[in-house]
Amino acid sequence: MTADPQDGVADLVRRARHGRAPIREQHAAFTMLVERFEGMAFATALKASADVEAARDACQEAFLLAWRALPDLRESAAFGGWLKRLVRTQCA
C-alpha cells in the first residue's frame, strides 16, 4: 500500500509555519513538503513551459514563494493545490 501524498500535509504545514518552533524544525517540516511535492511541481512546470531549465527555475521560485507566504495559506491541507498554482504563475 502506497502512502497518499496528502497524508500529514496539514501537519507539516502547521509545523513549518509554527512561529514558536525552532527554525531548524520549521525548515525540516518544509523540506519534507518540498520532497513530497517536488515531482508534482516539476511535472506541472514542465507541462507549462516545455523547457527543462525553465521548469526547474519555476519550481525553485514557487517553493521560495511558498516558504515566504506559508503564513498566508488559509487551509493547511490545500498546500498541494496552492503550490501548483504558484508553479503555474511562475511559468506564465
- Euclidean distance between CA atoms 36 and 72, whole angstroms: 20
pLDDT band at 2 (very low <50, low <70, confident <90, very high): very low
| Identity of the residue numbered 92 | A
User: Residue 40's pLDDT is what?
Assistant: 97
The pLDDT tens digits for 9-42 are 999 999 999 989 999 999 999 999 999 999 999 9
Rounded mean pLDDT of 69-91?
Answer: 96
Q: pTM to 2 decimals?
A: 0.87
Rounded to 5°, angle at Cα 18 from 73 and 72: 15
